[in-house]
Amino acid sequence: MGTKSHRRRSRLTRKKRRLEVPNEIKVQPTSRPTTGLVYDVRLAYHAPAVSGQPHPEESLRAYHIFQKLVSTGCLSRCVRVSCREATVDELLLVHTKRHVTEITDSAALPEEKLCALAKQHDSLYLNSMSSHCARLACGGVIELCRTVYQGKIKNGMAIVRPPGHHAEPDEKAFLTDPNVLYFSIHRYDDAKFYPYETAAAHYVAGEGEGKGRTINVPWPCAGMGDFDYLHAFNKLLMPIAYEFDPEIVIVASGFNAASGDLMGGCFVTPACYAHLTHKLKTLAGGKVVLSLEGGYNYDIISESALACVRVLIGEDPPQLQPGIPSPICVETVEKVAQIHSVYWKSLRELNIKSSFADGLKKRVEQRQKLSAERSKKLIDEFGLLKLPIAGSNVPEFFHEEVFQTDRTLTSSVLVVFIHDMNHKQATSAQESGFFDIANRILGNILVNNWELIDVNIPYLDDFQDEDRRIVDRLISYIWDRYIKTTTQKKIVFVATGYGAVSVGHLITLIDDVQKYSMFMALIPGDELPMVPPEKSDWFSKNTYIMVDPTIAKQHHSSCFGRLVSNGRSATSTLPETSMNFP
């Protein structure tokens, strides 16, 4: 996984044309292969133009990784490879002349214009040293790759910044090139996860002579773990890579997928990163280069990078606990394999069929049981009415999940409450830990005589891609049919779990949401709701995203809204906070 779009990208290249670069590195001969390490303190000069401006990508990321390698003795087992500025000719191999000139000229801009230029680009900040640091980072990676390719060292890692935002330009650069195999595993969520581009979809496979050389494995949801990534490697990357037979492997090493990095929302352990690196070492005669990209929790990226470097210098990866890939992983890998079996013989006989039928019946039965109990409670005790969903492209089952109060003509406030049962093992509504919380919120709304639209999302053990799409379609339908027509009311959203994420999708796709909504109280589950940068100012000013204290400390971007924590658990805080809107 790499930066922002949460990808771990591998570029496997075959030699067809030679690039001459200056300043050949001289590495002292040794009795055994060595691992190269690129790190330069000058890369810390890249920082926000406005001092104190928070941003998840900062110099301490690289510093913590370097210090971890020092403290564990791994640095002494590596050979240092120096950074140098990439030349203009090297940069123009990928970037346009206009872009290179713009970034180069930024060094002379005053602070105000630097900030304005940064806003034109995605997730970027600039200062007068940024262009110099970017050239150093590029040059350092080029030098490491060349030294490995020439056989002077066996492999290496570049701890460089700023990272190459984003993964999509990497893909585009080689889309038509038959000599580069591009492979990426990333969060996608049907293009509803940042940066919201369909270029990351599974059906994007390259163009022209590069057909079949671009391979995207797009996870449809958060929560993917070790055995999901190993499954994608074992069933897709490794068979294809052996058939491709590369001369060098270059990895854009993003650690957003690491367990504990909430921006990615996945659960990949350092041990798994070690195993993935070990697998890549079996390619190209072991010529593997890792270059730091994403990952924004200092401790987590340090441990993950350390695990990779230990494998590069010759240690065996640690043993993993037994496990299997998730059904959604198997389904995703199958979709990708079906697309690429046309191009790769190694996939044509591969049997990776998914098997959801056995679990589907149980999921549906439990969903229906919880829904029936919840519906009875809303009708009998709260006096709510079912909201008609006729004519929508939402399955009939979800038609029974939406309720409303009968106060459409008397209330000046409309509260849209979107929630789920939030408990994997709950066999009844009373066993769901969120049930009492939801009742308290409903009680507060009714006491204030506000209008209410209640949307229930019954818990699913494996929240499948299509289920998420259904929820998104349902919320969009309710907005179009019932909410945006009540423009004289004050509209408030209260949402939990995937409902909170779906509200983020609604804001991303429909501009009117900003126009008519006055406040949002959201409590996410395994992933945080996000909006694109152009809507982030409004989102951060008009939302309370209630999270636990550890999460609030890790995320500073306004794209995540205003993260609020008072030291208590987020769920226990929801009833009181959701009522305290302007």
Residue 403's domain is classified under what CATH number? 3.40.50
In a domain, 355, yes or no: no
Same domain, 166 and 253: yes
Whether pLDDT at 370 is above 80:
no
Confidence of residue 224 (pLDDT cuts 50, 70, 90): very high
Is residue 91 classed exposed, middle or buried when 0-12, 13-18 and 19+ CB atoms within 10 A define those classes? buried
Q: Are residues 245 and 377 in the same domain?
A: no
Q: Are 518 and 492 in contact (CB under 8 A)?
A: yes
pLDDT score, position 436? 65
Question: Across residues 541-564, what is the average pLDDT?
Answer: 72
Q: How much is the pLDDT for 45?
A: 82
Does residue 375 sit within a domain? yes
**Mean per-residue pLDDT over the chain, rounded:** 81
Residue 353 included in any domain: no
Could you report the per-residue pLDDT of 35-72, keeping only the tens digit for each? 999 999 999 887 776 666 666 677 788 999 999 999 99
Nearest-angstrom CA–CA distance, 537 and 526: 23
From 320, 348, 376, the end of a domain falls on: 348
70 within some domain: yes
Least trusted range by pLDDT, from 15-19, 88-92, 97-101, 213-217: 15-19
Q: Averaged over 554-575, what is the pLDDT? A: 61
| Single-letter residue type at 39 | Y
Residue 325 domain-assigned?
A: yes
Query: What would the mean pLDDT of 425-433 be, rounded to a whole number?
Result: 45
- Asked whether 144 and 81 are in contact (CB, 8 A), the reply is yes
pLDDT of residue 535: 87
pLDDT at site 167: 66
- Contact by Cβ (8 Å): 524, 497: yes
At residue 381, the pLDDT reads 81
Residues 6 or more apart whose Cβ sits within 8 Å of residue 122: 4, 165, 166, 195, 533
Nearest to 455 by CA among 501, 411, 407, 404: 404
Instruction: Examine the fold and report which residue of 348, 378, 410 is the final residue of a domain before the chain moves on.
Output: 348
Distance CA(157)–CA(579), nearest Å, equals: 50
* Last residue of one domain, picked from the residues 319, 348, 377: 348
Listed in sequence order, the residues at least 6 apart from 223 whose beta carbon sits closer than 8 Å to its beta carbon are 265, 266, 267, 326, 526, 527
Q: Are residues 93 and 170 in the same domain?
A: yes
Span 477-511, pLDDT tens digits: 899 888 887 766 788 898 888 888 889 889 988 88
Radius of gyration from C-alpha coordinates of the chain: 25
Domain match, 375 and 507 both: yes
User: Can you tell me the mean pLDDT for 231-254?
Assistant: 96
Taking 70 as the threshold, does the pLDDT of residue 4 lie above it? no
Structural element, H or E, at residue 551? helix 549-552
Q: Tell me: do 437 and 549 sit in the same domain.
A: yes
Q: Which amino acid is at 149?
A: Y
The number of domains in the chain is: 2
Same domain (yes/no): 167, 56:
yes
Q: Output the pLDDT for position 23.
A: 44
Would you say residue 160 has pLDDT above 80? yes
Q: Which of 6, 166, 231, 419 is catalytic?
A: 166
For residues 151-171, give the mean pLDDT. 86
273/130: higher pLDDT:
273
Q: Do 75 and 170 sit in the same domain of this protein?
A: yes
Domain presence at residue 360:
no
Highest mean pLDDT among 122-126, 275-279, 566-570: 275-279
In a domain, 1, yes or no: no
Tokens encoding 224: 């993917």
Same domain, 277 and 374: no
Which of 119-123, 350-354, 551-555 is predicted least confidently?
350-354
> What is residue 12's predicted lDDT score, i.e. its pLDDT?
67
The mean pLDDT of 541-557, rounded to a whole number, is 70
Is 505 in the same domain as 452? yes
Per-residue pLDDT at 332 exceeds 90: yes
Q: Are residues 268 and 377 in the same domain?
A: no
Residues 515, 458, single domain; the answer is yes
- Top pLDDT among 487 and 332 is at 332
Is 232 in the same domain as 378? Answer: no
pLDDT surpassing 70 at residue 544: yes
Please report, rounded to a whole number, the percentage of residues in the chain having pLDDT higher than 90. 36
Domain with residue 62: its CATH number is 3.40.800.20
- pLDDT band of residue 456 (cuts 50, 70, 90) is confident
CA distance 154 to 289: 9
Q: Show the domain range for 432.
A: 366-577
Sequence-distant (6+) residues with CB within 8 A of 507 are 513, 514, 531, 535, 539
Whether 275 is catalytic: no
Q: Which residues contact 214 (CB under 8 A, 6 or more apart)?
A: 171, 174, 175, 182, 204, 205, 206
Residue 432, pLDDT score = 47
Residue 437 or residue 388, greater confidence? 388
Q: What angle do CA 317, 319, 325 make, to 5 degrees?
A: 105
Q: Kindly tell me if the per-residue pLDDT of 7 is higher than 70.
A: no
429 within domain boundaries: yes
Residue type, position 250, single letter: I
pTM, whole model, 2 decimals? Answer: 0.64
And the tokens for 26? Answer: 């001289």
Asked whether residue 175 carries a pLDDT value surpassing 80, the answer given is yes
pLDDT above 80 (res 137): yes
Least confident window among 94-98, 190-194, 547-551, 571-575: 571-575
